[in-house]
């Protein structure tokens, strides 16, 4: 069986911080399944399909990255995909508090699941999908924070919505 893990998240939109975790994860795993969460309580700006499309475009030349979307419990999705390893990124204490709760809940739901955390590189610690939406809304370029294609799609969405 392939040494693979699931990198799950909202990716609304994907940031350079997410891409860094995925890139570094590929040095450890043969394959990563990047799984877009559909039923997030975060009121997303992009549809799951749009988030999948952006990630597919970013990783189009990377055969060992599969983009997918999932609904419901992550542990059930992991079981369906035949993997028990989840890779997540950690930026700060806020992430730690949230992630430790989620890890314990997931472990309670399925004791086979293993969640690995990779510390962000310092230069990406300030990046989040929500801060990037603010930057673009107020006229910033997003350069160095998001892929240029994502910046274009975000501008289209946010600036069109505010007209």
Residue 110, CA distances (Å) to 40, 77, 85, 107 in order = 20, 12, 12, 5
Beta strand 4-9 pairing with 31-37: parallel
- Omega within 30 of 0 (cis) for the link into 13: yes
Instruction: Write the DSSP symbol of residue 124.
Output: G
Active site (catalytic) residues: 18, 42, 91, 129
Size of the site for ligand ADP (CB under 6 A): 19
**Residue 24, class by beta-carbon neighbours within 10 Å (0-12 exposed, 13-18 middle, 19+ buried)?**
middle
Residue of the chain from 44, 48, 89, 142 that contacts ligand ADP (CB under 6 A): 89
Cβ of residue 89: shortest distance to ligand ADP, in angstroms? 2
Residue of the chain from 46, 55, 124, 147 that contacts ligand ADP (CB under 6 A): 124
Cβ of residue 112: shortest distance to ligand ADP, in angstroms? 20
- Give residues 94-113 in contact with ligand ADP (rule: CB under 6 A): 95
Q: For binding to ligand ADP (CB under 6 A), which residues are involved?
A: 9-11, 15, 17-18, 21, 37, 40, 88-91, 95, 120, 124, 127-129
């Amino acid at each position: 069986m392939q040494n693979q893990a699931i990198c799950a998240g909202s990716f609304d939109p994907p940031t350079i911080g997410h891409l860094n975790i995925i890139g570094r994860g590929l040095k450890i795993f043969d394959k990563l399944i990047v799984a877009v969460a559909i039923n997030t309580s975060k009121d997303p700006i992009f549809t799951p399909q749009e988030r999948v499309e952006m990630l597919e475009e970013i990783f189009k030349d990377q055969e060992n990255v599969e983009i997918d979307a999932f609904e419901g419990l992550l542990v059930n999705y992991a079981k369906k995909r035949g993997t028990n390893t989840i890779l997540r990124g950690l930026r700060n204490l806020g992430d730690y508090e949230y992630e430790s709760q989620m890890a314990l809940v997931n472990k309670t739901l399925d004791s086979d699941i293993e969640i690995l955390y990779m510390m962000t590189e310092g230069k990406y610690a300030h990046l989040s999908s929500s801060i990037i939406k603010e930057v673009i809304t107020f006229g910033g370029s997003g350069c160095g924070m998001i892929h240029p294609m994502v910046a274009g799609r975000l501008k289209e969405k946010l600036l069109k919505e505010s007209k």
